[in-house]
Every structure is written in structure tokens, then in C-alpha cells.
Chains A and B, each alone.
Chain A
Amino acid sequence: MNKITVHCTVNHKPVSVEIEPNKRLLDMLRVNLGLTSVKEGCSEGECGACTVIYNGEPVTSCCILAGQAEGADIITLEGVSVDGKPDVVQQAFIESGAIQCGFCIPGMILTAEALLMKNPHPTMEQIKEAMSGNLCRCTGYKKIEEAVALAASRM
């Protein structure tokens, strides 16, 4: 097996990563780049905890091979906060009481960020639809949806 070099943009900075082809984007981000906010919950594209913003869209990074990310623009939760301070979406999650165990939260926030980038003033229906690929076992989702609405109201 020959190693490959993946060139892409991660959190607004160009990176090149030398990596075995049998690694997922999830592994590359967590292990090679140390971006451990990206969580592995199900390994089958089901829970959404490993969601990253990939060329502007939320995707599950457990379903992408590292090599496929060549040329991609990737944002993880580490790329959302500024100097360790929460951005408007993160702040809204904190204030709304949307965070319990927090394992789903990186994926939730990134999914919300991707929605608000494209549609800064979504309806509640659009919020629900956008957030429908992220499982949470703690909150019953209400406070999470309220947090996205609160963030949108401050956009």
C-alpha cells in the first residue's frame, strides 16, 4: 500500500497530509490533524456526530475516504470559534441549554452553521429539516432547535 498525500483546506488553512489510503476523512482529521472535536458515534453515517462542513455542505466524515478529500474545503468545530471564543451559534447553544452530554454537539453546531451560511433566516421547519441528520440521545432536540433559531435571530 502506497501512502498518498492529501492537499486540502482545513479550517481556512491549506494543509497537506501524508496518509495511508485506508483511512477515512474522520481518521485524518482526528488522528493526523488532531481535530478531535470530530466525533465517531456510529461509523455508518447514521448519527451525524462526525459531521464536517465539506465544500459548504454538511457531510458525515466517516463515509469519506481521506484520499477523496483532495482539494476539498473542510471546516470542523475548531474552525468555527475565534481565538477560543464561541461564535454566535456556539453561544446560542450554551445559552439555550442545548448541551447535555455534548457528544453530538460538534455535529449539531456544524450542521447549523452550514444551514445559516446558506440561509441566515430559516423558518423553524427549515431548521428541523436541516438538523434531521444528527441524532441526540439526551435532549429530545427541542433546546437544540431553539438554539439554532436563537442564533439565526442574531445573524
Chain B
Amino acid sequence: MKRRGTGVGCMFYGIGNTGLPNPAAAFVEVLPDTSVNVIVGAADIGQGSSTMAAAVAAETLGLAIENIHVTWADTQVAPEGGATSASRQTFITGNAVKNACTQAMGELRRTAAEKLEVPEEDLVFRNREIYSSKDETKRMTYPELMGAMSYRGRLAVGAGYYNPKTTYLNPADMSGVPYEVYSYATCILEVEVDTDTGEVTLLKCVSAHDVGTPINPKMVEGQIEGGTAMGTGFVISEKIDVDPKTLAIKNPTLSKYIIGTNMDMPEIYPIAVSSEGEAGPFGAKGLGEPALIPSIPATMAAIGNALGVTFTKTPIFPADIVKAWKDKQAAENQG
């Protein structure tokens, strides 16, 4: 028999290491032709930290993303990036890039203020132009600015780093400030369960994530979709089997450790939620791990909801489902 069920799962996630310093740094140079070198330590493992660094630099400097070239994760070139973990790179390396850009802009501001004859604090850098927020007719292009920089023998270089504002936690009770900022999420997921075979079909999944400020909407969606794939797999198909004698992993291959294929995916509706804050670069927060988490409890709850049973253990494999359903039938027949 096929039965459907719905589950809700929520989470919050502290960005960066827990109650520990975990700084990251960046170097920036705006070149005479308005192209920019951004150098970060952060390892990009496909999640997009380099793209994030480019976007934060472009936004801060008032240039286009095409102007930015990012070099990353080469220890002889790039400063400390810390680990790509704890969903920290957008928040921490992003802030480091912003700080490095702000430093580089010191000379840019001074030069533009001289040329436009306006106070530095009135200057707006946006879309490859510099203008006064008080009088937008006072404006110059970026190439003009870089020309003025060259004429004066000034360089637009910056080094910046960021260390989240946390405290060490008190060993007695863990009190303190473990993280500077938190990401939040809610996932609602629908499944269909075959009570005869225990097969689970993931139907639909809505997953809303407070990312502060989305840097790149498609990358946000991609993280949520990929996280949902991994989170649902956590519950219904993935498990490491350990040989009880040798304690070796029995299924170290992709044919025996079952991750979902495209045919196993639900229809996913990712939602990026914005929230107001100053801590992250333009308010941005991490998403890598939050993307995964809420679909795990949501899947557990949805399968439970379909059967009218509560599951407290993972994984929930077909055999567990058949067993739970039979036990429930037996209990109902007795009662």
C-alpha cells in the first residue's frame, strides 16, 4: 500500500569554529586598467568561495565581477585562509576580502576626492563609476580614476583579515559567545512510502534558508538542492557498514554505499530568506552545512507521518519501514 506523509525540519547553525579564533585573510590590488587581483587562502571545493570573494570585491570596489581575478589556496601566494569548514568562508573570508578592498580604497578615495573636489565620505563607488552621493553630476569613470592614481604614483593595494567576534567558552558550563552569527532554515518535505516493500519516493521539498544576504541566487539554490540530496540520503539510503571482526568498512564503493541518483530526487523549491545584519560581508552568512541539515529531520518526520509511527533512529531503510508498519498493524489488531 502506498501512503504519503509530510514532515517539518528546522535548524540553526553557528558560522565558524566554536568559541575559538579562526581568522582568514585576503590581499587585493586594483591594477591600472581597472582589473583586480584578489588573493585568498580559502580552498574552494566547488561550493563557490572564490566566486563569493570576487563578488564581494566587485561590490566593495564598485567594479564588475568580470574585472576580478581570484587566486586561491596556494600557500606561497595566499595568506592564511583557515579550513573550508564550518560554513565559514563566506562570512570570514568574505569579510577579509571586504577589509582588504577597503584598505585598497583608501588611496582610491583620496584620489577621487581630489579630482572631483568633494569630501571622501560622500563618494560612492558603483558600476565602474565614482560619484558624489550629494551631487551625482560630480562623477568619474574607474579608468579615469586609475589614470589619476598612476599620475600621482599611488597604488591601490590592500591586505585584510577577519576573525569572528567570539569568546572562548567556559569549560565548566560552555557559557560564552561561541559564534558571531547564525544561519537558520526550515524544510517541509513530502514522501510516498510503499508499506509492502518499504520503498520511499521523495515527492516535494520546500527548503527556506536565512542566508543574510544572497551573494549569488543560483549558487544559493545549488547548495540547497545538493544539501537536500545529501540530507534525504542520510535518512533513506546511506550507511557505512563495519565488519564486526576486522572493523573494516564493508562498503567503501559507490555501488555499495548508496547515494541518490537524479531519479531519486524530490522536486525541490529552494527559498533564500534575507535578514538584517552587519556582521557578515554585506550581511551574508554561511550556507554550506545549513543546506544539508533540515532535510534530515524533515525526511524522518515525513516517513513517520506516512506510517503513523515515530522514528528516533537513523537510517530508516526499507526493512525498517516494513518492520515498523507490520508492528503497527500487529499492535492495532491486538488492541
Direct A/B contact, Cβ within 8 angstroms: yes
Binding site for B on A (CB under 8 A): 41-42, 44, 46-47, 96-102, 128-129, 131-145
Q: Does B218 contact A (CB under 8 A)?
A: yes
Nearest residue, chain B, Cβ from A130: B262
Chain A nearest CB from B84 CB (Å) reads 12
Q: How far is the CB of B40 from chain A (nearest CB, A)?
A: 18
Q: How far is the CA of A97 from the CA of B254 in the complex (A)?
A: 25
Given A44-B253, A138-B226: 16 more A-B contacts, CB < 8 Å: A42-B254, A42-B255, A46-B253, A46-B254, A97-B222, A100-B47, A100-B226, A101-B45, A129-B263, A132-B261, A136-B262, A138-B222, A140-B268, A141-B225, A142-B225, A142-B268
A131 to B230, CA, bound (A): 18
Instruction: Count chain B residues whose beta carbon lies closer than 8 angstroms to a beta carbon of A.
Output: 25
Are B254 and A44 touching (Cβ within 8 A)? yes
- B219's partner among A46, A97, A137 (CB-CB below 8 A) is A97
Chain B residue nearest to A102 (CB atoms) is B46
Q: Which of B221, B228, B254, B262 contacts A144 (CB 8 A)?
A: B262
Please, how many angstroms separate the alpha-carbon atoms of A98 and B265 in the complex?
15
Which chain A residue lies CB-closest to B47? Answer: A100
Nearest residue in A to B232 (C-beta to C-beta)?
Answer: A140
- 14 A-B residue pairs with CB within 8 Å: A42-B254, A44-B253, A97-B218, A97-B219, A100-B46, A100-B47, A100-B222, A137-B230, A138-B222, A139-B229, A140-B229, A141-B229, A143-B221, A145-B262
B222 touches A139 (CB 8 A): yes
Residue of B with least CB distance to A99: B46
What's the Cα separation between A139 and B265 when bound, in Å? 11
For B94, the chain A residues whose CB sits under 8 A away are none
Q: Mark B20-56, 1 if CB is under 8 A from A, else 0.
A: 0000000000000000000000000111100000000
Contacts of A142 in B (CB 8 A): 221, 225, 265, 268
Kindly state whether residue B309 has any CB partner on chain A within 8 Å: no
User: Closest CB of chain A to B217's CB: distance in Å?
Assistant: 9
Of the candidates A128, A134, A140, A144, the one having the most CB atoms from chain B within 10 angstroms of its own CB is: A140
Q: Is the CB of A132 within 8 A of B253?
A: no
